Homo-oligomer: A and B are copies of this chain.
Amino acid sequence: MKMNFTPGPSQLYFTVEGHLRQAIRSDIASLSHRSKEFEMIFSDTCSNLRELLGIPEGFHIFFTGSATEIWERSIQNLVLSHSLHLVNGAFSKRFYEIATQLGKKATMIEVSAGSGFVDPISIPSGTEMIAITHNETSTGVSLPLDFVHSMKERARDALIVVDAVSSLPFPSFDYSKIDSVFFSVQKGFGLPAGLGVWIVNDRCVAKAESMANTGVSIGSYHSLPTLRANQKKNQTPETPNVLGIYLLGKVVKDMLRRGIDLIRKETEYKSTLLYQALSNHPHLQAFVKEQKFQSKTVMVADCGPHLNRVSEALIKKGLYPGDGYGEFRKSQLRFANFPTHSKEQFELLVDTLENTSIV
């Protein structure tokens, strides 16, 4: 039995295979995206997501091809000129770079890999959007929710946009403190890649509309007003990843049955297990030193010269870690802690790591 701990695409949620079989039997994959049946699926998936993530009224759920697309669409629809990016790794930096590629005056506040942000954060006047990466998949740094939520007070006029690609469904956001949050399905939701989920409030839609009214291009089929007009009919502007939207709805329903509180508690438990093992280990250590920044969903271990030995021992047990990202490829391992990863698998992971301490 193989268990994939890579942070994304990650192990499929354990119910996906069954849902896929059912989807084939029910002809979901050849369903017209203008049919009543599709509208039901769209509506089910959205209401399940609303329940799981506590998404209030005034927020809307849209589907894209990837979270990378949402980076681009966010800039295109929410920023006339000035965006601010909190950058602490490769993915938060890419969000910033996309803003510059789209010709915006983007500012970044950058800290070194493995670090979070400490106050005071200085927000340039005229900032229209603040991009915050809740969980930096490249380094395993997660920003405390208090910090994320505090942005709103500091910049009332800016839209607060949160990349939660590799943390949801774990974090419990206060939607009165953010304007948009997004993720892709191949991480915490354990689904095949090829679908991004973009959650925005009415302020975001209004901003895009006002930009369009001044003659600025906000794109075409995936502009916020077009997405919103289609979503009102439980439809999408283009032929979407129908199977992906169906599977997401089913997996979220399964998560609802298990209970989001239990999922969150187990996530805490599993992350505590691993961080304790790293802290007790003679050769390994957590890359992120400050506990408040240690991600609970993507945990990064500095392995130094022991990387190959540790990696081999894990793979022998069927436990596949993720490589370190970029420059850390040869010294770090990354471990996803998503809802599909069970307590028992984490106990086996930790046991195996402990045994590699005996040389």
Q: Which residues of A come within 8 Å of B, CB atoms? A: 2, 4, 6, 8-12, 16-17, 20, 24, 27, 29-33, 64-69, 71-72, 97-98, 101-103, 184, 186, 191-195, 215, 217, 219-223, 237-244, 322
Sorted nearest first, the 3 A-B pairs with minimum C-beta distance are: A65-B65, A194-B241, A68-B238
Q: Is the CB of A65 within 8 A of B64?
A: yes
Q: What copy number does this chain have within its complex? A: 2
Q: How far is the CA of A219 from the CA of B220 in the complex (A)?
A: 13
A-B contact pairs, 27 of them (CB 8 A): A2-B27, A9-B30, A9-B31, A9-B32, A9-B33, A12-B29, A16-B29, A20-B24, A29-B193, A32-B322, A65-B65, A65-B69, A65-B241, A66-B240, A68-B238, A71-B220, A71-B221, A72-B219, A72-B220, A98-B221, A101-B223, A186-B239, A192-B243, A193-B239, A194-B243, A194-B244, A241-B244
A101: chain B residues at CB < 8 Å are 217, 219-220, 223
A242: chain B residues at CB < 8 Å are 9, 192-194
Q: How far is the CA of A217 from the CA of B218 in the complex (A)?
A: 13
A29: chain B residues at CB < 8 Å are 9, 12, 16, 191-193
Q: How far is the CA of A209 from the CA of B24 in the complex (A)?
A: 42
